[in-house]
Amino acid sequence: MNRENEVIKQNVDENNRSGCACGQPDGNGWNHEASGVTLHPGERIDDLQINGFQIIQNPDKFCFGMDAVLLSDYAGIRKDSRVMDLCSGTGIVPILLEAKYEASYIEGLEYQEDCVDMARRSVKMNGLERKIRMTAGDIRTVREHYPAGSFDYVTCNPPYMTGHHGQTNQNYGKAIARHEILCSFADVVQAAKWLLKETGHLILVHRPFRLAEIFYCLKENKIEPKRMRLVYPYMDKEPNMVLIEAVKGGRERITVDPPLIIYRKDGSYMDEVYQIYGGRV
């Protein structure tokens, strides 16, 4: 493992333990004042390890995880496409999509206004105001605010847990991000159906234990699952994430991609994980 990969692994490990997926906190040499961005109490700036981009986060609220990084990598956005990211949080997926692809327009829709505020400041800090728009709104009302078929792609890292799955976090912001309190998976799919052009792509990350429900809901809304990839923490463990690509009005046929294994037996990251995070092995 070379020095660059050691640094990447250290950053990923440290922030997974604290609830964040990568980067280092402000105070390690970045001058956020130079960009005209103000940090509020409890906030920090994390390095995204790609294109020099950074993101503002507050660990007391909700920091992004590896699922957002894997989602952006799986998306495969085509050049000059219009992209909507639902349940966008603090804007991590739009920023990573801008770093990885050449979309013509990316918008993030998020219910929590404090998250949208952080996302907008991150967009400004990275000089992406002309590329990314962050909007405060409810995905259940997209019909009132967007014309049908406005986007080529919809991405989403939705709340994974229903009301009866797991213990609801006492922190309301974290609870909203993890549990279906303000929207259900069906709400996500119905919003995507409205927003997507015919043959538009919906890219999701979710939990494998809900796969039957996910596929049923997609097919019920005529969004056909076309590709999926299971993510395993270790080779001998059950998968804990699934990446899905579905196409509005697509034909019936799904490709199951090779599994993505995160860790080797010794706890180090697999080569592909380093590559996804921008490292070279």
∠ CA 49-227-89, nearest 5°, is 45
In this structure, is residue 35 part of a structural domain? no
pLDDT of residue 15: 43
Domain extent at residue 198: 65-262
Compute the chain's Rg from CA coordinates: 18
pLDDT of residue 14: 43
Q: Which residue has the higher pLDDT, 21 or 197?
A: 197
In this structure, is residue 280 part of a structural domain? no
Q: Which residue has the higher pLDDT, 82 or 184?
A: 82
CA distances from 39 to 44, 52, 69 (A): 7, 19, 24
What's the structural domain count of the chain? 1
In this structure, is residue 9 part of a structural domain? no
In this structure, is residue 254 part of a structural domain? yes
d(CA 132, CA 207): 28
Residues of the chain by 3-state class (helix, strand, coil), percent to 5: 35, 25, 45
In this structure, is residue 217 part of a structural domain? yes
In this structure, is residue 32 part of a structural domain? no
pLDDT of residue 280: 39
In this structure, is residue 130 part of a structural domain? yes
pLDDT digits (tens, 9 = 90+) for 124-156: 999 999 999 999 999 999 999 999 999 999 999
d(CA 74, CA 83): 14
Q: What proportion of the chain, given as a percentage, has pLDDT over 90?
A: 74
- CATH number for the domain spanning 111: value is 3.40.50.150
* Closest residue by Cα to residue 246 from 208, 216, 273: 216
Residue type, 103: A
pLDDT bracket for residue 18 (50, 70, 90): very low
d(CA 278, CA 219): 35
* Closest residue by Cα to residue 108 from 95, 91, 123, 130: 91
pTM of the predicted model as reported, rounded to 2 decimal places: 0.85
pLDDT of residue 174: 53
In this structure, is residue 269 part of a structural domain? no
pLDDT digits (tens, 9 = 90+) for 210-255: 999 999 999 999 999 999 999 999 999 999 999 999 999 999 999 9
